[in-house]
Structure 1
Amino acid sequence: MSDRTVNDLGCVPAELPYFHTVGIGAGPANLSLAALFESATTERIALFDAAPGPSWHADLLYSGVRMQTGWLKDLVSLVDPRHKLTFHNYLVTTGRLYALLNAQFDAIPRIEYQRYLAWAAEQIGNISYSSRIDRVSFGEGGFTVHSDGKPLARSEHLVLGVGTRPMLPAYLGGLPADQVFIADGLAARLDAMRADTEAPVAVIGAGQTGIECVFRLLGAGFTDISWFGRHQWFQSIDDSPIANDIYRPQHVDYMQELTRTTRRQLIADHKLTGDALTPGALRALYQANYDGMLELGRYPVTLLPHRDVTSGERDGNDIVLRCTSPERREEYRFRHVVVAAGREATPLPLDDELRERIDLDDENEMIVESDFSVRWKGMNGHKIYALGASRYSHGLTNAGLTLLPVRAARVVNSMFGTHIYQVRDELSPVRW
């Protein structure tokens, strides 16, 4: 059924295996769901993932990169702190608790979080890797998931947890892939790029991935790096107490009471609470840049805020980027261009018949209810849950890791029509 499985589901028999729930994707969102599901019921859940094994942004797991969420916000703790798959239990059972504590991290390494996910996946009953679900159909009895034209399993309910994928802007399409590539491809190309560390390199994108690419290039010895951002300055996350109150269950509930128009406006206003640089990252870059200036006599990194890159073309061995700023147009030449400017939703593998049943809003997006179920026609008790498509219904928590177990608990409660898990959020001084 797959090249590698955790508690292998085995070969597909003539009668397809039937599960209460099938989840597409085995990233943090569906791992959290499966962990709470298996603790709540004897029913079976199965996850299918295209990756060959447990993986989470594997191409961006640079040494020194830290998480943007605290370690208590793991797969289960906010709902069930006694669960066996807490991050705390991971540290204890793998013998690394004291080492991590004594390292005195302000935020845990991203590589550590990836290892935690792999550890958790090994203890979840049915995860099939190397199983890319390319079609989901619906018929009598429920959903059927298919891979490479073959049905793999059937289920009563379906959970979509496929997340997002990096994108290369259209204005850079058609340029040489060894010179213009997404951030996820930087690690694989660094050795070849090191042949000339004085060659100019551009990083496009003012978010956390962008600055991580700048640090990676600096660490590899590159001395002519230009970092482009569209905003007036490179912005850090607002980590104030009131900003963090947005990432609470009670605020998610508050968002449900608002009209879609109001929600969209508020979510745009909330951007700097989540879609920005880790606190301290800019200070670290400025210090590293100053150190580089002392050694080279000039800054190795040039920051170019308020530039909107609009086009690129090849000219000899170089890539020419054109951009606009408020009052002028500019042109720059680079040997390599690293794109860290945004992600897009991974296409959902629903077949045409099922896709036509999905109810869409005025923005042509799926309508996601308060329990994260998708509104669709002819469900007859069978539910589809979307764990990555509720940004404009539930807020920025939808895209991050902060409230994973809260969302998973509400999905489990919805599936079984009872409050198996209690989500308590009290003692707030804020009245939204």
Structure 2
Amino acid sequence: MTITERGLHTTQLTTPRYHTVGIGAGPSNLSLAALYKNVTSERLALFDSRPGTGWHTPLLYPGVRMQTGWMKDLVSLVDPRHELTFLNYLVTSGRLYALINSQFDSLPRIEYERYLTWATERLGVVNFGSQVDSISITDDGFEISVDGMPVALSEHLVLGLGTRAVRPAYLSGLPAERAFIADELGQRLATLDRTAPTAVVGGGQTGLESVLRLLGSGFTDVKWIGRNQWFRSIDDSPMANELYRPSHIEYLQGLNRDTRRQMIDDSRYSGDAITPGGLRALYQSNYDGFLSLGQFPVTLLPGRDVRTTDLLSDGNIRLCCSTSTLPEEHVVRQIVVAAGREHVKAPLDDELRERIETDDDGHAIVESDYSVRWKGMNGHKIFTFNASRYSHGLTNAGLTQLPVRAAIVLNSMFEREIYPISDDVCAVHW
């Protein structure tokens, strides 16, 4: 039984059995499901706690752009003839020419979310409104439970849980309507004072987008605070893009752990940074504001790390920052935090969690095929997306290699080369 709405769970006397169950229905597991459906008649189901489709919905609004190209969709890099390509979405939805003629440098993120919704509806395997609270191992495979009741048995398990925003400790004790994380900006924007000093904390893409949203909404005194010494933009050069090819991932696998970690840290700003177009838009809008207001509506404050906050007697908020020289204080009326995300932990029961083999840092050991190393597998595999940064590099959590990762998992799952991963035409010899 396919569950597509909140609260609809099977009433069968026996627990439904699947070949593969995925936890989470984000882009990673949707890519897997899309490729899966075209190569096997085995059953697959995805379980997701959200009430319906969406992709970082609180952070979506007009003007927000993708950081990857449109060809890097759910399937095209390994199966460009697949019916769930982004191009087919544009054609079947009748918007192909309108999008082409809009001449976007980067795809609107809202469009990408609608593409994911379109693909989800056609796959028909997602069980929304299903908060998985326990995953255990039985003689027959994995048992997945929702609200304490078993809803699925599965030969294999795929974890695609993604990340969630972290609420820093320094927000504690501050008025929630004026001190919140970026995910809440949309719902609180109308109640904020547009002329009052407003801080945005976080020097990444979400921080930039929050600043742009405030600027576009008429805020005239925004302080953008970032921890790094400058607001770094993504390196989108040809050489930087070589880091996101299958050949480079394969190269990383052959390095020792310390060398691989250092290389990945050194190249992080090829992806973990802000889009040049977004930064350019901010500078241009800020200059327009200078022309009309006589002062810049946005002040950029790199090299500051917010350590603590105080609620002052007049209701203002004092931010205490460390810098490379002397401590600084900044007084604002309202604060938006766009810094920090954490991985969502899989709800494995104690027995299964104890079987997972970990490295010296306590992280699960992830093999080259994205399978987790664990004791007593007995033919049952656990695969994980978004949890292998220091073994698989920068493609681990990004969208650039979604179908390649999914294809590697399927090849391993079925123990044969279903999807060839070819990357031989490369001028770079790592």
TM-score bracket, normalised by the shorter chain, equals over 0.9
Q: Please give the alpha-carbon distance, in whole angstroms, between the structure 2 residues aligned to 1:198 and 1:171.
A: 24
* Cα distance between partner residues in 2 of 1:186 and 1:180: 10
User: In the alignment, what sits opposite 2:140?
Assistant: 141
CA distance in structure 2 between the partners assigned to 1:337 and 1:9 by the alignment: 40
Task: Confirm or deny that 1:362 pairs with 2:360.
Answer: yes
| Partner AA of 1:298 in structure 2 | Q
SS at structure 2 position matched to 1:79: coil
* C-alpha separation in 2, matches of 1:302 and 1:258: 43
1:417 aligned onto 2:390: no
Aligned residue for 1:267, secondary structure, equals helix
* Identity rate, percent: 62
Q: What corresponds to 2:32 in structure 1?
A: 33
Aligned counterpart in structure 2 of residue 283 of structure 1, from 280, 285, 307: 280
1:344 matched to 2:339: no
Once residues 249 and 352 of structure 1 are traced to their aligned partners in structure 2, the CA distance between those partners, rounded to angstroms, is 35
Q: Which residue of 1 aligns with 2:224?
A: 227
Partner of 2:309: 312
| Partner-residue secondary structure (3-state), 1:59 | helix
Question: What RMSD, in angstroms, separates the aligned Cα atoms of the two structures?
Answer: 1.5
Q: Is 1:29–1:387's contact at 8 Å kept on the other side of the alignment? A: yes
1:333 alignment partner, SS class = strand
State the 1:165 CA deviation: 0.4
Match of 1:124, as an amino acid? L
SS at match of 2:322: strand
Q: CA deviation digits over 1:153-204, x for unaligned, max 9?
A: 11000000000000022233332222221111100100111xx211111001
Give how far 1:394 is off: 0.1
Q: Which residue is equivalent to 2:155? A: 156
Is 1:183 paired with 2:182? Answer: yes
- Structure 1 gaps of 5+ residues are none
Aligned to 2:207: 210
Q: Give the corresponding residue for 1:334.
A: 332
Partner of 1:174: 173
Whole-Å Cα distance in 2 between the matches of residues 181 and 35 of structure 1?
37
The whole-number CA distance in structure 2 between the counterparts of 1:164 and 1:328 is 34
1:54 counterpart = 2:53: yes
Write the letter of the residue equivalent to 2:200: V
Instruction: Report the CA distance between 1:263 and its aligned residue.
Output: 1.2
Q: Who is 1:246 aligned against?
A: 243
Alpha-carbon distance between aligned partners in 2 of 1:10 and 1:283, rounded to the nearest angstrom: 49
Task: Quote how far apart the aligned CAs of 1:27 are.
Answer: 0.4
Contact 2:47/2:128 (CA < 8 Å) preserved in 1? yes
The equivalent residue for 1:406 is 404
Q: Distance in 2 between matches of 1:184 and 1:375?
A: 35
Q: By how many angstroms is 1:350 displaced? A: 0.6
- 1:297 maps to which residue? 294
Q: SS at 2:65's partner residue?
A: coil
Contact 2:4–2:124 under 8 Å retained in 1? no
TM-score, normalised by the number of residues in structure 1: 0.97
Distance apart, 1:10 and its partner CA: 5.8
Q: Work out whether residues 2 and 131 of structure 1, in 8 Å CA contact, stay in contact via their aligned partners in 2.
A: no
The match for 1:273 is 270
1:390 is matched with which residue? 388
Provide the rounded CA distance (Å) in 2 between the counterparts of 1:32 and 1:347.
Answer: 21
TM-score, length basis structure 2: 0.97
SS at match of 1:286: helix
SS of structure 2 residue aligned to 1:55: coil
